[in-house]
Amino acid sequence: MDSKKVVIGTLGSHSALQILKGAKDEGFPTLIVTIPKHKEFYKTFQFIDEVICIDSFSEFPSIENELIKRCVILIPHGSYVAYLGFEKNKNMKVKYFGNKNVLDWESDRDKQKEWLSTARINMPKQYELNDDISFPVIVKSHGAAGGNGYFLANDMTELKEKISTFEHKKYVIQQYIVGVNLYVHYFYSPLTKRLEIMSMDRRYETNVDSLGKIPHDIQKEIHINPSYVVVGNSELVLREGMLSKAYEMGRDVIEASKKLVDKRGLYGPFCLETIITPDQNFHVMEISCRIVAGTNLYINGSAYSWLNYNEPMSTGRRIAREIKKAIKENELDLLLD
Ligand code: AMP
Ligand code: AMP
């Protein structure tokens, strides 16, 4: 790849605006691949140099030769996983920001559990159907489903009944933790070996976050099953006394990945999805190994990025800055797969 011709590209959804604004602020040409319904919208932004339209996101691999010719570096985000699927994502040959070997460990919940346990991260208890289960539990399918299709069960009868009609064959049964949800956004630089907390968010999930607005008497009558589909994100800063623990969890996950995945391990942006209980303990539900959409709150930087940079620094811009540094130091191979 000719590093002087690098174009930063991504799929048009999820966090594409943040990624491409950041790339343009760092001086790169930018390109977006999107579907007809979003095309006009993305064309309104001056920092996007080119909009390529395909009929559906799953057709993305069909234009990969064109992207390779154009020296595009793809920045992956949640839509890659959601719409391309694991195999297509792995098999694409366009230069990709990140270590694709991490995908095997992220997409399989058993491997993810092994990874987080190796990092000594506290997780909600996981059960098999014939275990002595302490209820309530949440049942979750494998893969990034954005909370889609999860369900809660409060006793064994309800659990067995709901599992018998569950459309997903691979799932986990997890202890349901009552606490504050906090998503911590990190960036690990393979060039400087430095870890940063970039920002944090909470999610707004429908309909579970609205159930509390209904008086208990009515809740009991109408039997609404909570669903966890994310529709937006809001800001939160963490009690400062808990920040060092959040940092250490990120550090330990990186160290464990270097042992389990390969020598390069996880790098770039990632997120630990936590629930914090009244004893101020973090319970980590999941790890996302790429930019998460909660970072969209901070296109102009966050309270935490401001501590490290005296300029607006989104996660999208931080990625572009890493690529720029790697080009300058002739180390681009360290960042790409
Ligand atoms: P989309 O392209 O908007 O359908 O997003 C692709 C995937 O990214 C979804 O399946 C969600 O899992 C995740 N996602 C999208 N937007 C958000 C958000 N605001 N917060 C958290 N996750 C999100
Ligand atoms: P996830 O797909 O793991 O990000 O989960 C989506 C949403 O489901 C989270 O944001 C939580 O609201 C909820 N959730 C997942 N796992 C748990 C758990 N073990 N305890 C409580 N809530 C959970």
Is residue 30 within 8 Å of 8, Cβ to Cβ? yes
Relative to the alpha carbon of 286, which ligand is closest?
Answer: 2
* Residue-range definition of the domain harbouring residue 227: 105-122+178-310
Same domain flag for 118 and 235: yes
Relative to the alpha carbon of 206, which ligand is closest?
Answer: 2
Give the pLDDT of residue 170.
Answer: 82
Same domain flag for 143 and 185: no
What is the CA(61)–ligand 2 centre distance, in A? 31
What is the CA(153)–ligand 2 centre distance, in A? 14
Give the pLDDT of residue 146.
Answer: 58
Q: Where are the alpha helices (DSSP H) in the chain?
A: 16-25, 36-43, 64-69, 78-79, 85-91, 101-107, 109-118, 156-164, 216-222, 243-260, 303-308, 315-328
Cβ(108) – ligand 2 distance below 6 Å? no
Distance in angstroms (rounded) separating the CA atoms of residues 39 and 304: 33
Residue 63 DSSP symbol:
G
Nearest CA to ligand 2 atom 12: 228
Ligand 1: lining residues by beta carbon, under 6 Å: 13-14, 78-79, 82, 144, 146, 203, 230, 232-233, 293-294
Relative to the alpha carbon of 293, which ligand is closest?
Answer: 1
Helix (H, G, I), strand (E, B) or coil at 317: helix
What is the CA(95)–ligand 1 centre distance, in A? 23
Distance in angstroms (rounded) separating the CA atoms of residues 255 and 162: 38
Same domain flag for 225 and 154: no
pLDDT in tens, 107-131: 888 899 999 999 999 999 999 999 9
What is the CA(109)–ligand 2 centre distance, in A? 13
Same domain flag for 139 and 196: no
The total number of structural domains that make up the chain: 3
Between strands 180-189 and 268-276, the pairing is antiparallel
Same domain flag for 192 and 67: no
Cβ(61) – ligand 2 distance below 6 Å? no
CATH number at residue 35: 3.40.50.20
Same domain flag for 90 and 182: no
**Residue 297 belongs to some domain of the structure:** yes
pLDDT in tens, 141-193: 875 455 667 889 999 999 999 999 888 878 889 999 999 999 999 999 999 99
CATH number at residue 299: 3.30.470.20
pLDDT in tens, 221-275: 988 888 888 899 999 999 999 999 999 999 999 999 999 999 999 999 999 999 9
Give the pLDDT of residue 143.
Answer: 59
